Amino acid sequence: MLLEKFKNNHIILASGSPRRQELFKELGLNFTINVKEIDEIYPSTLKEEEITNYLAKLKAKAFENELQENDIIITSDTIVWHNNRPLEKPKNKAQAIAMLQELSGNSHKVITSVCIKTIKSQTVFFDVTTVFFKKLTVDEILFYVENYRPFDKAGGYGIQEWIGFIGVSRIEGSYFNVMGFPVHKVYENLMNL
């Protein structure tokens, strides 16, 4: 369906995330990947989806001067929101362990925003999923961090990895959103473009 709709467009996914690339591919579209390095800095007054909306737009802005008539750029940003603050990507092993200890036995929100930008329009939307973790043991946390090195993942974990299998007791919302890409909403917004 989308393939036919966008046969004359050049779709660019601006994400280095293998998970996002894999999920986007499942929509059955032809696309290229182009990632621009930007400083992911946002005003400290922003909260929850305000942060991810801001960063998704910032990532799209990097392409502003080179968009062609038939280009569609798609950018995305994900955070874990817990105890009224964002948990971004851990910088090292100690940070990853601390994040998982904080999430252990608690629930948190995973918020992903997506920006779809063309030369004429820009749409920004977000999705929120609540994730519930069982109480994790220190050994489980250490095993996960040492073997999976989750330093490229918001909140220091990937739901599709070992820790998700053994640690996540339930979720409310989209599983794929927790992986970093709310595919159902991406589809809906592309269909409405």
Tokens of 107: 């629930």
Backbone angles phi, psi at 144, to 5 degrees: -65, -50
Task: List Cα–Cα distances, 147 to 15, 65, 93, in angstroms.
Answer: 24, 42, 11
Tokens of 59: 């990532």
Active site residue 127: no
Residue 89 CA, distance from chain mean position:
11
Phi-psi region of 173 (alpha: psi -120 to 50; beta: other; left: phi over 0): left
Which member of 39, 71, 77, 152 is catalytic?
Answer: 77
Q: Catalytic residue numbers? A: 77
